[in-house]
Structure 1
């Protein structure tokens, strides 16, 4: 509940950068709830019937939005992290080689776009989904060390334990979890490793917080949402400038920008990201990178130290 308190850790990002920037692409398209994916009908569909108009909104993400996003990142030479729904990448496997060639971090956003708490088979069924997700992401990318981390956003209370166990069974390192919004500075921290529940040594699990603030889903949010690209750009710029000043004061920070290709991939919205990238580039003090590289850097400079007291006395 306190976190780093008044003394966040002082360290350096590579090349003396004062702030680390991570763009995260949530990849749902092709894995959303639909008849094709043998899941419940997509939200917005009429009960018992498909809504092809809603489905076509998602299809826009991979037909038009994602190519526009990939070209923009290629133009700036930046790599992003993907919160990839495994079925989605399987359904659009054309993009697998593009992700690998661009050096993008392949992380997982579930197997299919379903809520794990609603699985009738309990932990065993959830573990099967995790295993299938790993297999699908490996097949789509040709990489054997993916996914590097997870952001469920809708997992069960025991999902971290299941993820760690399946990753170990598959021989895939679990570098981090982003199922947390707990640090407003988006700075990494550790929690006790789930295997301590099994009496094993506590090696720590690195948490890299995610953002619902710097998130393009707010184009669809009423009230505090974004009306135009200027809204999104102004928020990103303001947060970047503030965190940059904190970094210059000796406490480097991390900033996450969450994107969806079907949302930000619209021409009138992606200009916000282009303008922000130009602003970041002009600062000359930012490290634009992937979450797996951030995880490796943080682990190297701050090895896990198990707590000296029990959390529940």
Structure 2
């Protein structure tokens, strides 16, 4: 199957009042697990490479990107590539040539006016390359080891009026909103502000994106999709599944040295978690975004 674009997958999900799952990948095992899980659920999926993942791979985007493109082109379901949480202008400009159809440009750390100006420049460039662009307003805490913001701290939540102006002035195609989730949560204890999410959905003409979804309980994800979330980002949940499986395997087989054995167990655990999350989001076999006869 040919490589899909993030824009078309999100647009179809929005029309179906559903959400497309977007999983952050770090290794080839992540790539294979996400695609296997999506195929099991007969649903489209987005593979995301973050700037942090590129840094982990010695600052080189192409090796992981090329592997992801090759695997996506052989998948039985639509798969798109998305470059996530990009702050580097140099990395942003590598995206089109590496197979990415979309990018999340992250200037949310900046004051509002600077965020707007930087995002507008990035959006103009991305659209000139035919790319779909996501931005963030408000602060979804927990990234790079930072603690989540207090619920009442300035900037901890996305303001609907400010968000409407931000989208109009930047021209972005989607907006990641701060409604109570946080990155890197290993416990599913986040409580989303569903009232705020409803107001944001009513105020904005673009799809809404939920970051930090690994910390949100299943019922919270279901309610978020019902209130307008159209793209759900997941990263930590896959790493946790992989790590648990490998720890259990090595505890039971302390003599093991063949990395294929424990990496295979970890890959299978991630694939199961991918299929489970897609099922929670309602993007499984009954979804109109899924192919009619996946092979």
Q: Please report the TM-score for the alignment, with normalisation by the length of structure 2.
A: 0.45
| TM-score w.r.t. length of structure 1 | 0.43
**Structure 1 or 2: more helix by fraction:** 2
Asked which structure has the greater RCO (Cα within 8 Å, sep 6+), the reply is: 1
Bigger radius of gyration: 1
